[in-house]
Amino acid sequence: MDYVAALVPPVVMAVAFTALVVTIVKSQGGANKAKEDAFVDAALARAESAGRPVKAGEA
């Protein structure tokens, strides 16, 4: 029975990680993508209108 107790935590973590990856992949594209793109465009527009230089990866 010790082997079961030793295997449960890694199996639970593997299942949780797989669920996380599936959730991330499913949330890409579609209506969510349009919302995210609109948010980034609005943030860039605010930064540009404030006269602040925009760096890559900053929003």
Number of H helices, E strands in the chain: 2, 0
Residue whose structure tokens are 């540009």: 48
Digits of tens for pLDDT over the chain (59 positions)? Answer: 899 999 999 999 999 999 999 998 887 777 777 887 888 899 988 888 877 666 666 55
pTM: 0.49
Identity of the amino acid at 5 = A
Give the domain ranges of the chain.
Answer: 2-49
